[in-house]
Amino acid sequence: MDAEIIKALMAEQLERVRDSALCRVFGWEISVDGLSAYVHMRPRRKPDTTYLLRASFEDFPRHAPSCVFVDVASRQPDDDAWPPKTRHGASPPGICTPGTREFHNHYHANDRQYPWSPDRYPFLQTLTEIHRLMEHGIGT
């Protein structure tokens, strides 16, 4: 699929996130670099802690966005960039929740219960679940 079409579809998904009450409540800050969206996420119980989620939309909507946590400063993969209990232990590292490429293409590739569809798993829903996992991993 043409990169400009993918960018337009990604922009639609991100606009839904930006317009949501969840974005305001959770304080998500979103920036875009090419076909990647970067989302600054802060646990409500530890608001001074910031994590950076990189969602790569290459080959969207054919495949779900690839979602991984990266270093806040360098935007590069780093084991220490992950919130506790959010990283799936398998290879490739990722987040095991519907709506992520890692979930649909690797961890549950043969699971017919979770067929990938951008209509079934919009990015706002995926981001909300990732935030929930982050909050749960941080604990009280």
Directed axis angle between helix 3-18 and helix 123-138, to 10°? 60
Range from 16-20, 52-56, 82-86 carrying the lowest mean pLDDT: 82-86
Residue 41: phi and psi, rounded to 5, are -125, 135
pLDDT tens digits, residue range 123-136? 999 999 999 999 98
So what's the pLDDT on residue 139? Answer: 57
Distance in angstroms (rounded) separating the CA atoms of residues 136 and 34: 31
- Assign a CATH topology to domain 3-138: Ubiquitin Conjugating Enzyme (3.10.110)
The pLDDT confidence band at residue 67, using thresholds 50, 70 and 90, is: very high
What distance lies between CA 53 and its chain's CA centroid? 6
pTM over 0.85: yes
